[in-house]
């Protein structure tokens, strides 16, 4: 199964790219890579890593492998990308995993399968980890 990785913005060293690729390949994924570009008016843009797992996340066994890979990637990048994020794209949701979130980043990754299994098509779009659970933009604004 293929997973597309886009280094969307920020600085990514060859060692970081190799570590990300190795984490995904060791979980059984074929990896394609690209570099996205975000233009800004002289601003520093935080590092963003997009992992398109839409095909992989249709199967629970593949999902388990992707979660293991995300945990390894998080461990490699933890605290090294201030305000950066890894974003896991699924069919309906985009899980935004902050790379400087400490242990809650690990908790957020481990909670992705349970969140995906809710089978609620109205819960879609960007997902943010807050108060110990994944929340949509709408859910965040209800509090």
Residues 37-94: tens digit of each pLDDT: 665 555 566 788 899 988 766 777 788 899 999 999 999 999 899 889 999 998 889 9
Q: Which residues pair with 97 in a beta bridge?
A: 86
**What pLDDT does residue 85 have?**
93
**Cα–Cα distance, 36 to 29 (Å, whole number):** 21
Query: What is the extent of the structural domain holding 29?
Result: 2-141
Vertex 48: Cα angle to 44 and 40 (nearest 5): 35
3-class secondary structure, 137? helix
- Number of domains, the chain: 1
What number is the average pLDDT over the span 134-140?
93
Phi/psi-derived region of residue 138, left when phi > 0, alpha when psi is between -120 and 50, beta in every other case: alpha
**Cα–Cα distance, 94 to 16 (Å, whole number):** 22
User: What 8-state DSSP symbol labels residue 111?
Assistant: T
């Amino acid at each position: 199964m293929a997973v597309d990785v886009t280094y969307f913005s920020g600085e990514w060293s060859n060692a970081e790219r190799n570590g990300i690729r190795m984490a995904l390949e060791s979980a059984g994924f074929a990896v394609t890579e690209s570099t996205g570009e975000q233009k800004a008016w002289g601003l520093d843009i935080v590092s963003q890593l997009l992992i398109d797992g839409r095909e992989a996340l249709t199967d629970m066994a593949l999902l388990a492998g992707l979660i293991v890979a995300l945990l390894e990637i998080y461990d490699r990048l933890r605290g090294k990308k201030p305000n950066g994020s890894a974003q896991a794209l699924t069919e309906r949701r985009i899980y935004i995993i902050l790379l400087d979130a400490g242990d809650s980043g690990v908790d957020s990754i481990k909670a992705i399968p349970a969140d995906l299994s809710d089978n609620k098509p109205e819960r879609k779009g960007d997902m943010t980890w807050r108060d110990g659970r994944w929340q949509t933009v709408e859910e965040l604004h209800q509090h």
